Structure 1
């Protein structure tokens, strides 16, 4: 009898009755109702409202920090270059006679522009004076020589326009580089002053990323890798390098661009794969497994 009673007591303690609704759902519902309908006092605050306010503050602070770090440097760069630096350099450049040497790249560029101008002007003369031509070869050669001699006075004016454009390009280049340096220091100052906001922004981004499911995370991983180091990303890197070289006043060197395109995406792809193997595999193994399955 004693053994039967002990077995019943042990059985009732070890195996609880399973209800229709899981106990975790009941506990979560009770906690939610308690937080929702509990009156706010000094000792029992409304945690739902408190968490909502914290989440709203985190979102607003993250958006403000992101806008300040992205929009303010661009606005500062535009205003400083257009209102301060460019007018000062333009005035000083026009007041003083600056002797500038022309390198080989600029000579080729000016020669191509001048050659295109000459060919367009000659073609327009042919269209305007086509009635002067005849079947005689001598008369045709004389007409061509006369048309060419008539264009000589316009060469000097066009060369003056090219020189003026070259001076404008140099002023723009110098003002752009100086504005970039000032904007870079302002950006570093913003990073130093916005340290608390950056911490909030980092936590907001991490929370937003972790809230995504594994399929969505893998989708963004594949999209980012294909855009940066994918098969068709080489054209984008070529355009990026050409714009960067033109922005800082360097000539578009095809050999340097091809060397960059053939090496930098490979290095970036290696770093990305190492990051997946070293960090992401520890943080979220399910995301790595889903990512590999989607690639296959």
Structure 2
């Protein structure tokens, strides 16, 4: 009995494997076609139907690196699946096709296969180097200082730089030629300032310079619009999510569970102390007003009635505040989720924003950089910053209905600004001192 069950399992496993083998051509063709569709989608959406190329785009280098990495991955998938399709078609004969028909596996019609193959070839042919280009590029010498963000992909770069000839034995003449030139060796007949002025005049007199200026301006304008729009989305979407979730999702649920009058009015001791102080202040106010207008003193019954009305009003107010604090906790979770979702689906926009801020920061003068650094350090880690942190932490605690723990606040103020100050000084020492030493010198002079 056990042997029959075991043999039946083996038979079902072999049958499933055989069915998977018979479906290999259709599966590989579908995956290659899907990769080609994704490449075509990127071209239509971001490059107006043209080839994914840095010369025909208005995006920054970081965005183009993002698109080229996706392109290389999709091209690799399409080529591998086409190879798998050809190999599986070669191994499958008429007997296999008859067996597939008996097993209930339906193959696509030949016209549909040809249509998919034609579409895949049209997409891939834009990014395929011909044999003549490969031969000529392989014999060419690699140019010095190839830029990092070049439009050549990794596969093309490997093809171009594949050595075809054995390396030569270095000689004295080649060693002399390979020595780096110093400043004395590079000195020409004319001063460099005159040569740079001539070069600048040539650029200004070039008839195509106006087109380049217009293209650069449009690229900068597009980058600015994308950055400002994305920053506004980062602010508006979480706020709208918080208000909508609080009004239509979290609010009704909290009100349903806290609708009874027997529910707890105060969710922390600070609210209770605040309500008691408000009630005592109201009682003193009644006595003071009674003394001012020279009216007869209120009877205990009248005083108790007014105090009861005020207590009921305070209870209603603080019950609403407690419910609002609970709503804020869950609504903030929705806001954080919306913020993270926006970051995950906007990787290209994040790269554009990063490039936008880099241009703004590096375009500032040294005095402006030093002014911004001193402003931020004095606000967050300066002498008066503990008061701001205290107000901020108390506001967050009240927003979430938590008691403001003074010990935690003082401990936070004693450690977190110090950590921020250390990180900021390390950033100035490690990065800003290397990028803009004059800004660091201006910062130190202004700080003194």
TM-score by shorter chain over 0.5? yes
Q: Secondary structure at the match of 1:71?
A: helix
* Residue number in structure 2 paired with 1:105: 270
Q: Secondary structure at the match of 1:22?
A: helix
* Residue number in structure 1 paired with 2:205: 33
| Alpha-carbon contact 1:122-1:148 (below 8 Å) kept | no
| Distance in 2 (alpha carbons) for counterparts of 1:170 and 1:101 | 7
Q: 1:18 to 1:191 in 2, by over 3 A?
A: closer
State the Cα deviation string for residues 219-278 of structure 1 (Å, max 9, x = none): 111111111111222221221111111111122333332332232212211111111112
Q: 1:131 to 1:76 in 2, by over 3 A?
A: closer
* Residue number in structure 2 paired with 1:72: 237
Q: 1:158 to 1:101 in 2, by over 3 A?
A: closer
Matched, 1:90 2:255: yes
Q: 1:33 to 1:83 in 2, by over 3 A?
A: farther
Q: 2:302 aligns with which of 127, 144, 150?
A: 150
Quote how far apart the aligned CAs of 1:155 are. 2.4
| Alpha-carbon contact 1:110-1:162 (below 8 Å) kept | yes
| Alpha-carbon contact 1:122-1:147 (below 8 Å) kept | no
Matched, 1:174 2:326: yes
RMSD: 2.6
* Residue number in structure 2 paired with 1:8: none
State the Cα deviation string for residues 176-219 of structure 1 (Å, max 9, x = none): 11110000001000000111000010011111111112222111
Q: 1:47 to 1:113 in 2, by over 3 A?
A: same
* Residue number in structure 2 paired with 1:24: 196
| Alpha-carbon contact 1:35-1:47 (below 8 Å) kept | no
Quote how far apart the aligned CAs of 1:88 are. 4.2
Q: 1:35 to 1:252 in 2, by over 3 A?
A: farther
Q: 1:37 to 1:62 in 2, by over 3 A?
A: closer
Q: 1:160 to 1:269 in 2, by over 3 A?
A: same
| Alpha-carbon contact 1:229-1:269 (below 8 Å) kept | yes
Matched, 1:283 2:448: no
TM-score (norm 1): 0.79
Query: Which has the bigger relative contact order, CA under 8 A and spacing at least 6?
Result: 1
Q: 1:262 aligns with which of 414, 417, 434?
A: 414
| Distance in 2 (alpha carbons) for counterparts of 1:184 and 1:253 | 25
Q: 2:357 aligns with which of 190, 199, 205?
A: 205
Q: 1:254 to 1:35 in 2, by over 3 A?
A: farther
Matched, 1:118 2:283: yes
* Residue number in structure 2 paired with 1:51: 216
| Alpha-carbon contact 1:77-1:179 (below 8 Å) kept | yes
Q: Secondary structure at the match of 1:250?
A: coil
Matched, 1:244 2:401: no
Quote how far apart the aligned CAs of 1:18 are. 6.1
| Distance in 1 (alpha carbons) for counterparts of 2:269 and 2:321 | 17
TM-score (norm 2): 0.54
- Count residues in correspondence: 262
Q: Secondary structure at the match of 1:16?
A: coil
Q: Secondary structure at the match of 1:218?
A: helix
| Distance in 2 (alpha carbons) for counterparts of 1:222 and 1:14 | 43
Q: 1:15 to 1:59 in 2, by over 3 A?
A: closer
| Alpha-carbon contact 2:361-2:369 (below 8 Å) kept | yes
Q: Secondary structure at the match of 1:151?
A: helix
